[in-house]
Amino acid sequence: MMMYMAPMMTGMPMDIAAMLGNMLGGWTMGMIAHLIMGIIVFPMIYVLVIYHFVPGPPLVRGLVYGVLLWVAAVVVVMPIAGAGVLMSNVGGMMALIASLIGHLVYGGLLGVIAGYGPTRKT
């Protein structure tokens, strides 16, 4: 939802499904890939790996994970998708900040939803 609300906040489009679709054969495939990564793959990585290595309450852990995902996106994924390193080809600083905010919201929500997990001692 946030990538489609971003133009209202930043004045620039942020269609990650279209970017991924350029590599995968169309917008629908890009959206499917983005959903699978955001709903299944990234949460599993968080719960199985990141959660155990990042200290702090769930929100902080999630925010750290959001930053890690953002760094991977702007340094690896976006250049492959043609957006340039640090999104330099698609809006520069405004796109970079909008992307960071989106990843922080995603990571924070993921951390809060995952909570303390099964390892919490009461």
- Global pTM? 0.78
Instruction: State residue 59's pLDDT score.
Output: 94
pLDDT in tens, the chain (122 residues): 555 565 555 555 567 777 777 778 888 888 888 889 889 999 999 999 888 888 899 999 999 999 999 999 888 877 877 777 877 777 768 778 888 888 999 999 999 998 876 555 54
- The residue ranges of DSSP E strands in the chain, in sequence order, are none
- Tell me the domain boundaries of the chain: 2-116
Q: Do the beta carbons of residue 111 and residue 74 sit within 8 Å? A: no
Instruction: State residue 13's pLDDT score.
Output: 59
Question: DSSP secondary-structure letter at 57?
Answer: -
Residue carrying the six token digits 């309450």: 57
| C-alpha–C-alpha distance, residues 36 and 33, integer Å | 5
| One-letter amino acid for residue 40 of the chain | I
